[in-house]
Amino acid sequence: MPLDAQTQQIVDELTVAYFMELETVMNYIANSVHLDGVRAEEIKKSLAADVTAEVGHAQLLADRIKTIGGKLPGSLEFKATQKTLQPPADSTDLVAVIKGVIDAEHGACEQYTKIIKLCDGFDYVTQDMCITILADEQHHRREFKGFLTEYEKA
pLDDT, one tens digit per residue, over 15-72 is 999 999 999 999 999 999 999 999 999 999 999 999 999 999 999 999 999 999 999 9
Task: Report d(CA 6, CA 112) in Å as an integer.
Answer: 16
Task: Report d(CA 53, CA 105) in Å as an integer.
Answer: 12
Per-residue pLDDT at 101: 98
Per-residue pLDDT at 45: 96
Is the separation of the CB atoms in 68 and 13 below 8 Å?
A: no
b/e burial code for range 84-109 (CB count within 10 A of at least 16 → b): bbebbeeeebbebbbbbbbbbbebbb
Helices (H), 35-123: 40-67, 94-119
- pTM for this model (two decimals): 0.95
Mean of pLDDT values over 107-113: 98
pLDDT of 149 strictly over 90: yes
Position 46, amino acid: S
pLDDT of 154 strictly over 80: no
pLDDT of 152 strictly over 90: no
Q: In the 8-state DSSP scheme, what is residue 85?
A: G
Q: Which domains does the chain carry?
A: 5-149 (1.20.1260.10)
